[in-house]
């Protein structure tokens, strides 16, 4: 793998909302789920080879909920958010690292990532998760 490939992969995994479902022509998927009908959340997003895919469930000024799929070997680079974030694994396993402490989560498990804490997601096979961010002006 050359440097350009590494740079492309880092950019792809670092920008959650910019990661796209195949066939979306490079644009983020900001379409929200249809309201007042039931959904099988684990089925609303597919795995895409060598990619992280994000689908918006709800996006409001007060926060958002997204479902994400990670292909094997894909993760998210280290970041810090000004808001608390709740991550829930809905398929597979994920290694979520908060302030250099690793937390292995399996299907059905969740964790609150505190505001202003460094965190990243280390690849641990294919997995899907729901990410909930609650925004507040008092963090």
Q: Please report whether residue 79 resides in a domain.
A: yes
Q: Give the range of the structural domain holding residue 79, as residue numbers without chain letter.
A: 3-134
Residue 139 maps to a domain = no
Phi-psi sector, 16: left (phi>0), alpha (psi -120 to 50), beta: alpha
How many domains is the chain built from?
Answer: 1
Please check whether residue 50 is in contact with residue 75, taking contact to mean a CB–CB distance below 8 angstroms.
Answer: no
State what percent of residues in the chain have pLDDT above 90.
Answer: 67
Kindly report the CATH number assigned to the domain that includes residue 50: 2.60.120.10
Q: Which residues of the chain have pLDDT under 70?
A: 1-30, 137-139
Condensed to tens digits (0 to 9), the pLDDT of residues 90-123 reads: 999 999 999 999 999 999 999 999 999 999 998 8
Domain assignment of residue 16, yes or no: yes
Q: For residue 128, is it within any domain?
A: yes
pTM value is 0.76
Percent of the chain with pLDDT over 70: 76
């Amino acid at each position: 793998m050359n440097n350009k490939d590494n740079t492309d992969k880092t950019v792809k995994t670092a920008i959650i909302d910019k990661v796209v479902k195949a066939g979306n022509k490079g644009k983020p998927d900001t379409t929200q789920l249809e309201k007042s009908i039931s959904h099988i959340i684990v089925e609303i997003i597919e795995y895409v080879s060598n990619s992280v895919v994000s689908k918006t469930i709800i996006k409001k000024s007060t926060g958002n909920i997204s479902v994400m799929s990670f292909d094997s070997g894909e993760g998210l680079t280290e970041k810090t958010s000004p808001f608390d974030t709740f991550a829930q694994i809905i398929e597979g396993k994920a290694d979520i690292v908060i302030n250099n402490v690793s937390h292995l989560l399996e299907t059905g498990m969740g964790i609150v990532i505190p505001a202003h804490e460094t965190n990243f997601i280390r690849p641990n096979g294919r997995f899907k998760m729901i990410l909930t961010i609650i925004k507040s002006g008092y963090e």
